[in-house]
Protein backbone atom coordinates (compact mmCIF):
# COMPACT_ATOMS: atom_id res chain seq x y z
CA UNK A 1 0.00 0.00 0.00
CA UNK A 2 1.21 3.47 -0.84
CA UNK A 3 0.86 6.34 1.63
CA UNK A 4 1.34 10.09 1.30
CA UNK A 5 5.03 10.86 1.68
CA UNK A 6 6.25 7.50 0.27
CA UNK A 7 8.96 7.51 -2.35
CA UNK A 8 8.41 5.30 -5.38
CA UNK A 9 11.18 4.33 -7.83
CA UNK A 10 10.34 3.08 -11.30
CA UNK A 11 13.07 1.44 -13.39
CA UNK A 12 12.54 2.00 -17.10
CA UNK A 13 15.92 1.16 -18.60
CA UNK A 14 18.24 2.97 -18.77
CA UNK A 15 16.64 5.45 -16.33
CA UNK A 16 15.30 5.09 -12.81
CA UNK A 17 12.53 7.61 -12.18
CA UNK A 18 11.81 8.62 -8.58
CA UNK A 19 8.53 10.10 -7.36
CA UNK A 20 7.14 11.22 -4.01
CA UNK A 21 3.47 10.55 -3.29
CA UNK A 22 1.83 13.92 -2.53
CA UNK A 23 -1.80 12.83 -2.52
CA UNK A 24 -4.05 9.83 -2.99
CA UNK A 25 -7.13 9.28 -5.10
CA UNK A 26 -9.86 6.66 -4.98
CA UNK A 27 -10.39 6.53 -8.73
CA UNK A 28 -8.24 6.61 -11.82
CA UNK A 29 -7.37 10.05 -13.13
CA UNK A 30 -6.19 11.42 -16.45
CA UNK A 31 -2.53 12.05 -17.18
CA UNK A 32 -2.96 15.81 -16.78
CA UNK A 33 -4.00 15.32 -13.14
CA UNK A 34 -1.10 13.05 -12.12
CA UNK A 35 1.15 15.99 -11.06
CA UNK A 36 -1.46 16.75 -8.36
CA UNK A 37 -0.63 13.40 -6.73
CA UNK A 38 3.09 12.88 -7.50
CA UNK A 39 6.19 15.02 -7.18
CA UNK A 40 9.00 14.16 -9.58
CA UNK A 41 12.28 13.64 -7.67
CA UNK A 42 14.23 12.12 -10.55
CA UNK A 43 17.81 13.40 -10.48
CA UNK A 44 19.16 15.41 -13.43
CA UNK A 45 21.91 12.83 -14.04
CA UNK A 46 19.21 10.27 -14.88
CA UNK A 47 17.81 12.60 -17.55
CA UNK A 48 21.35 13.17 -18.86
CA UNK A 49 21.72 9.40 -19.15
CA UNK A 50 18.49 9.27 -21.13
CA UNK A 51 19.75 12.01 -23.46
CA UNK A 52 23.03 10.16 -23.98
CA UNK A 53 21.16 7.00 -24.97
CA UNK A 54 19.02 8.97 -27.42
CA UNK A 55 22.06 10.68 -28.94
CA UNK A 56 24.09 7.48 -29.18
CA UNK A 57 21.30 5.63 -30.98
CA UNK A 58 22.42 4.12 -34.29
CA UNK A 59 19.68 5.57 -36.43
CA UNK A 60 18.48 9.06 -35.70
CA UNK A 61 15.23 9.25 -37.63
CA UNK A 62 13.32 12.48 -37.59
CA UNK A 63 10.15 12.39 -35.58
CA UNK A 64 7.11 11.53 -37.65
CA UNK A 65 8.90 9.61 -40.38
CA UNK A 66 7.58 6.29 -39.07
CA UNK A 67 9.11 2.94 -39.86
CA UNK A 68 11.95 2.64 -42.37
CA UNK A 69 10.97 1.59 -45.86
CA UNK A 70 12.13 -1.78 -47.19
CA UNK A 71 14.88 -0.03 -49.14
CA UNK A 72 16.04 1.88 -46.06
CA UNK A 73 15.90 -1.33 -44.01
CA UNK A 74 18.09 -3.15 -46.55
CA UNK A 75 20.56 -0.28 -46.60
CA UNK A 76 20.72 -0.25 -42.80
CA UNK A 77 21.19 -4.03 -42.68
CA UNK A 78 23.94 -3.88 -45.29
CA UNK A 79 25.66 -1.06 -43.44
CA UNK A 80 25.53 -2.78 -40.06
CA UNK A 81 26.54 -6.19 -41.39
CA UNK A 82 29.52 -4.84 -43.32
CA UNK A 83 30.81 -3.15 -40.17
CA UNK A 84 31.23 -6.51 -38.45
CA UNK A 85 32.99 -8.43 -41.20
CA UNK A 86 36.70 -8.43 -41.84
CA UNK A 87 37.08 -8.86 -45.60
CA UNK A 88 40.75 -9.80 -45.31
CA UNK A 89 39.84 -12.78 -43.15
CA UNK A 90 41.31 -16.11 -44.28
CA UNK A 91 38.62 -18.80 -44.27
CA UNK A 92 41.16 -21.64 -44.41
CA UNK A 93 41.48 -21.74 -40.63
CA UNK A 94 39.98 -25.19 -40.05
CA UNK A 95 42.21 -28.17 -39.31
CA UNK A 96 41.74 -31.36 -41.28
CA UNK A 97 40.10 -32.96 -38.21
CA UNK A 98 37.52 -30.16 -38.01
CA UNK A 99 36.66 -30.46 -41.70
CA UNK A 100 36.10 -34.20 -41.41
CA UNK A 101 33.91 -33.90 -38.29
CA UNK A 102 31.55 -31.57 -40.19
CA UNK A 103 30.84 -34.21 -42.85
In the chain, the number of structural domains is 1
In a domain, 19, yes or no: yes
The confidence band for 102, taking pLDDT boundaries of 50, 70 and 90, is low
Backbone φ and ψ for 38, nearest 5 degrees, come out as -130, 145
| CA atoms of 17 and 42, how far apart (whole Å) | 5
Is 55 contained in some domain? yes
Mean pLDDT, range 89-94, rounded to an integer: 52
pTM for the whole thing? 0.52
Q: Does any domain span residue 90?
A: no
> Is the link from the previous residue into 86 a cis peptide, with omega within 30 of 0?
no
Residue 49: inside a domain, yes or no?
A: yes
Higher pLDDT, 78 or 16: 16
Tell me what the mean pLDDT of segment 63-85 comes to. Answer: 73
Distance CA 60, CA 81 (A): 18
Kindly state whether residue 103 falls inside one of the protein's structural domains: no
| Domain with 31 in it | 7-84
Residue 34 lies in a domain: yes
| Domain annotation covers residue 79 | yes
**25-37 per-position pLDDT tens digit:** 999 999 999 999 9
Residue 37 lies in a domain: yes
Q: What share of the chain is helix, strand, coil (3-state, %, to 5)?
A: 40, 15, 45
Amino acid sequence: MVKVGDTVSVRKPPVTYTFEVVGLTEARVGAKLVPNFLKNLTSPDQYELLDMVRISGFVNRQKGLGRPTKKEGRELAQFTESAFYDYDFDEDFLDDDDEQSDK
